[in-house]
Structure 1
Amino acid sequence: MANEGRIGRRHDVDFLRVCAFGLLIVYHSSILYSSRGWLHQAGGESWFFDLISIGSHPWRMSLLFFLSGVVTAALTSRRSPGEVRLFRSRQLLPPLLIGMLVIIPPQIYITLKMQSGFSMPYLQFWWSYVTGGFIDASGREVGSFAHLWFLAYLWVYTALWALLHRYAPALFLRGGAWLSKTLHGVGLLYWPVLYLAVLRLALFPAFGETLNPVTDWYAHIVYFSFFLAGALLAGQEDFWDAVVAHRKMALTIALACFVVLAAIVTTIPAAERPALLVTALRVCRSVFQWTAIVALLGYARRFIRHSNPVVMYLNRAVLTYYVLHQTVLVLVAYWLQQHGMQPPWAFGVVVVVTCAVCAIAYELQRRLLSVASFLGREQPQLGVT
């Protein structure tokens, strides 16, 4: 297969993966203090924090799914699709289930307290939540994957990918080479932008982004496309050479799109934008989404060629950081607000404390797993006579 040869360790992919997950902490911390409505509005509503959202939200999750596809292809060069699916199930499902039972409820509880004067004791709320859902004062059922939707979606996409690998092997025999040939020259920037713009104009108005796996059709098409593209293109050197060659052009276009989006979004309220402007913004967002990804892929591929111990360590830690970060930062922001701290200082404290808590939690997890592994290896010897 074109991309089925053994794919070596991609240090550029590790680096981008760490950066993208790290950016999640900054992004989610920023929207606590932005004008955008969210779980918990911590005050301030500064346009500066809106810029963080505008500059990262259009491309961040698409990049993560693309990188996940690349990693999946690398895993498949050493394991069968079934083994990869089993590996992903063991990697993703336990933190997803634990997160839904333990990690997500506190952030929902804080949201209810801030938005509706909720006063139910936490343990009573938690029991109601985990035993069948919770109905808030407006009659709406509370409960979702929250930020852990990424784990659920990635597991579903890996399962679909494994089925395609089994029942449509021609896709992997010829799909990567065809896609790499298509994304050549100007086509690297043109065709994906056209595809994303059509989806944004045709499907987003109808479906939006619900983060509900049953109804999130626009997001599924976009994110699975990026996941599949990453898996198909992982071993296509022509594609990566093209990305490196077009990185400067992609960066220039991406920066121009960011300036346009920032100028319009921060000055014209959504309700006052005419239909033609909304259409133009959606097209501009699609251009920004892809060109930012190409620029990041290109510069990382060009300059990140060797392993780095910090990146290697964080690459192993990102799943723990991802699962914990949103609840931690919401709790920290709530505490700071109760004690009168306002942005921008509160924003910095939220980011630093969230990173510190996640780091401590990962170290505890790593050491507990090391002890469990050690005891597991020693256990059979105890029965020897």
Structure 2
Amino acid sequence: MENNSRRRYDIDALRVIAFGLLILYHLGMAYVAEWSWHVKSANQSETLQLIMLAVNQWRMPLLFLISGAATHFLFNKLGSTGFLLRRLKQLLIPLLFGILVIVPPQAYYEALSNGVIEPGYLSFLWRYFSFQPWPANSFAGSHVGFTWNHLWYLPYLLCYTLVIIPVAHYLRNKQSLLKHWISGIKSWHLVLLPLLPLTLYGLFLFPHFGGINYAVVGDWYTHAQFFTFFFIGYLLVSSQAPWQLLTRLRIFLLFAAPACFGLFLLFTRTIEENSFPGQSLINLIIIYTNRWLWLLLVLAWGNHYLNRPFSWLPYATEAVYPWYILHQTITVTAIFKLRSLSLGPIVEPLLVLAITIVGCLAIHELLIRRIPLLRLLFGLKPLVSKGAAGKNPVPQGS
């Protein structure tokens, strides 16, 4: 396996962009028509639904793919023990802190919106920390008594972290064979081969387990899909060969991905079910082809434009994890407080977005990055001396 000494700035930048997109997506969930969310605004948009649909097919696969790429670099740098300890520290501590401190306001405002509780956050917390089941539909996760809401990504990533360690050991022992295989990859391999396992998951796992349940346990279709993207990311950055292919494919992908999304809309929104034989299989193939082509498009153009040392990248690379942990609580709180003011469909979401950005920026800049305990709780590395500050860190929290 190639030990790439050159830093992959595009992977860092795509991670920042992917989490930024996640923040915008969660904001959109409050305003998109017909889709449920924790707290909804009175201003609903059907047009927004199309934009959200275009993104939600590949946004989480992109995050897990990037996480797999970051895992490759981190594992090769730290070894299995160091890698495991780093990941446990980066994932478990922020997850537990998030469940106990960051996420409860979301559950509180959701329960208020659903008319399950009376106002009073301290009373809510007293009941919340009993970890007993709540009345049905009080808030997401109320049936088990607590929730991790948007932090579900962390326990899923932790599972894949544990699984990848023996796999990474095996691949390191077979590095010459792996390098030979990846170096010989063709364009059609890159475009078509990942579609086979994804389609099989859709055929055999989805009918039994359904879509994501956010609970980790019993979520086998989701695990199969997300771990596949995670593992693909791990493999892709082990060689330059796939990226050379992506460079040549980037113009093709610029047209193929939107065209495939058009087919996706045709099959899911226009053509009636059971209109012709084999329709369900064709529909499945289109769904996963659309998902994979958009991922390839993002990777290809990201590598083309972003693989350079931007001045903003080191700061953003560190900031993105605390922003991810904080953002949804700020967004939910802002929507709940502002929606009664009837600010309209333009002013309200812009103001919520501004509050979310300013809130994340202020808390991170003024508190988290300066206080050692908060750095630990938000998954950041300890403060370093000025002499060591110029060293490039491995992407954190990916």
Single out whichever of 116-125 and 354-363 deviates more from structure 2.
116-125
User: 1:376 offset after TM fit, Å?
Assistant: 11
Provide the residue aligned with 1:253 in structure 2: 256
Provide the residue aligned with 2:75 in structure 1: 76
Among 213, 216, 228, the residue aligned to 1:213: 216
User: 1:295 offset after TM fit, Å?
Assistant: 0.8
Matches within 5 A, 1:2-13: 2-3=1-2, 5-13=3-11
Decide whether aligned partners of structure 1 residues 257 and 118 sit closer, same or farther in structure 2, where only a CA change above 3 A counts.
farther
Single out whichever of 195-204 and 135-144 deviates more from structure 2.
135-144
- Higher helix content, 1 or 2: 1
SS of aligned partner of 1:133 = coil
SS of aligned partner of 2:131 = coil
User: 1:232 offset after TM fit, Å?
Assistant: 2.2
SS of aligned partner of 1:215 = coil
Single out whichever of 333-342 and 165-174 deviates more from structure 2.
165-174
Provide the residue aligned with 1:152 in structure 2: 155
Matches within 5 A, 1:371-382: none
Any stretches of 5+ residues in structure 2 without a counterpart?
A: 376-381, 387-398
| Structure 2 Cα separation of the partners of residues 300 and 374 of structure 1 | 30
Provide the residue aligned with 2:26 in structure 1: 28
| Structure 2 Cα separation of the partners of residues 186 and 179 of structure 1 | 13
Among 369, 372, 375, the residue aligned to 2:372: 369
Query: Amino acid of the residue matched to residue 136 of structure 1?
Result: P
CA contact (8 A) 2:182 2:239 kept: no
Decide whether aligned partners of structure 1 residues 352 and 267 sit closer, same or farther in structure 2, where only a CA change above 3 A counts.
farther
| Structure 1 Cα separation of the partners of residues 89 and 384 of structure 2 | 21
CA contact (8 A) 1:165 1:172 kept: no
Decide whether aligned partners of structure 1 residues 285 and 69 sit closer, same or farther in structure 2, where only a CA change above 3 A counts.
same
Matches within 5 A, 1:281-292: 281-292=283-294
SS of aligned partner of 2:214 = coil
Provide the residue aligned with 1:338 in structure 2: 340
Q: Does 1:352 align with 2:354?
A: yes
The alignment-based identity, stated in percent, is 31
Provide the residue aligned with 1:38 in structure 2: 37
Query: Amino acid of the residue matched to residue 361 of structure 1?
Result: I
| Structure 2 Cα separation of the partners of residues 60 and 86 of structure 1 | 28
Provide the residue aligned with 1:186 in structure 2: 188
SS of aligned partner of 2:312 = helix
User: 1:48 offset after TM fit, Å?
Assistant: 2.3
Matches within 5 A, 1:1-385: 2-3=1-2, 5-34=3-32, 35-119=34-118, 121-137=120-136, 140-166=143-169, 169-170=172-173, 174-175=177-178, 177-178=180-181, 181-182=184-185, 184-207=186-209, 208-262=211-265, 280-363=282-365, 364-369=367-372
Decide whether aligned partners of structure 1 residues 175 and 140 sit closer, same or farther in structure 2, where only a CA change above 3 A counts.
same
Query: Amino acid of the residue matched to residue 32 of structure 1?
Result: A
| Structure 1 Cα separation of the partners of residues 115 and 284 of structure 2 | 34
| Structure 1 Cα separation of the partners of residues 374 and 331 of structure 2 | 29
Decide whether aligned partners of structure 1 residues 374 and 284 sit closer, same or farther in structure 2, where only a CA change above 3 A counts.
closer
Any stretches of 5+ residues in structure 1 without a counterpart?
A: 378-385
CA contact (8 A) 1:58 1:289 kept: yes
Single out whichever of 295-304 and 254-263 deviates more from structure 2.
254-263
Relative to the length of structure 2, the TM-score reads: 0.84
